[in-house]
Amino acid sequence: MEGVRTPGGSLGRVGAAVAFATAVTLFAPDPGFVWVLPALCAFPLFLFATLIHGTTLGDGQPATWLFLTELVLCVLTQSLALGTIVEASRGRLRGRPRAS
């Protein structure tokens, strides 16, 4: 299965970006915009989740656990969608028998 993307790879990249951003936040005097990097790993879906979150809960900064949960869920959903598209474009879904 050469070249097949897994959710673990995408989640690993986001995990590394979150670890880097956390380290910079803890040890740098001015972390700046370092938390943009993890959000960019899941950008298309995370943008919509952030917009929905902002309209439903109002203005302000979300809690850290909520931010990271949204980020992980967006990465997993995006990986599933992209993996399905890749599998369908390669024709592998057509050759599998249907579950009954």
Q: Token pair for residue 33?
A: 């915009």
Q: State residue 72's pLDDT score.
A: 81
Q: Where are the alpha helices (DSSP H) in the chain?
A: 7-27, 36-41, 43-57, 64-90, 92-95
Q: State residue 1's pLDDT score.
A: 46
Mean pLDDT of 11-34: 84
- pLDDT confidence of 59, banded at 50, 70, 90? low
Residue position matching structure tokens 């993996």: 83
Q: Are 76 and 5 a contacting pair, CB within 8 Å?
A: no
Q: Are 41 and 10 a contacting pair, CB within 8 Å?
A: yes
Mean pLDDT of 51-65: 72
Distance from C-alpha of 71 to C-alpha of 88, rounded to nearest angstrom: 26
Nearest Cα residue to 41 out of 13, 64, 21, 67 = 13
